[in-house]
Copies of this chain bind each other. A is one copy, B any other.
Amino acid sequence: AQEMITLAPGIEFRGARMRFERNEEIFGEDEGAEYVYRVASGAVRTMRFTADGRRQILGFHLPGDIVGLELGQVHTLSAEAVASSELVMVRRSVLDKAAAESTTIARALLTLTAKTLDQAREHAMVLGRKGASERVATFLLGLADRMPSNPDVDLPMSRADIGDYLGLTIETVSRSFSDMERQRAIALPSSRHVVMRSRMALVQLQAA
């Protein structure tokens, strides 16, 4: 099925829709970067590994987000489906050609990259300077802002994913959630369903 992939308001490309199952690899580090993807449904994680196999998740990507945009010929990170997801893919060559011919499109690519850079810096900030519950609170607030269903947040990812994103263990993430529930900042009807009870409390936790 042909679908549209939106790079920026008004800038669209035709692409093929493709389905990826839970934990299926979308592309790997050092693979050729032949396609660029847009998340249509589900959620995607991007990540890198240390030499000895430890995983660092660099970002979660929700519907509307662009994944796999690279400058070089190979991917500098890998991507997997967090849950069953549908992605729309466009050939790199198509994008490159369009960018070479249109200043507007080139500009959109730059804007996208710069936005991603800003996120990566904020992530570094969290990893370098915040304690466990601060990290989790920041994570929840960030996710909620990108979700339509605020203040109800459905987590597409496991505690392990969250841990690998925040530089924490599963257990510490779980404990932080429990603490936040005890403090009435959130409610946890189920482990994947968070209700933001007091955004203020979370904002406070985030900074503390």
Contacts and interface: CB of A to CB of B under 8 A. Distances in A.
A94 interface: no
A14 B22 CA distance: 53
A56 B125 contact: yes
Nearest to A110: B110
Interface stretch (A34-42, A114-122, A184-192): A114-122
A129 B207 contact: no
A129 to B, nearest CB: 5
Nearest to A106: B106
A76 interface: yes
A106 B110 contact: yes
Interface stretch (A3-11, A46-54, A149-157): A46-54
A67 interface: no
A76 B125 CA distance: 13
Contacts of A113: 110, 113-114, 117
A124 B111 CA distance: 21
Nearest to A127: B127
29 contacts: A48-B121, A48-B122, A50-B129, A50-B130, A51-B207, A56-B124, A56-B128, A56-B129, A58-B124, A58-B125, A71-B110, A71-B114, A76-B121, A77-B121, A103-B106, A106-B106, A110-B110, A110-B113, A113-B113, A113-B114, A117-B120, A120-B121, A120-B124, A124-B124, A124-B127, A127-B167, A128-B164, A128-B166, A128-B167
Task: Please list the 3 inter-chain residue pairs (A to B) with the smallest Cβ-Cβ separation, ordered nearest first.
Answer: A128-B167, A127-B127, A120-B120
Interface of A: 48, 50-52, 54-56, 58, 70-72, 76-77, 100, 103, 106-107, 109-111, 113-114, 116-118, 120-125, 127-130, 164-167, 207-208
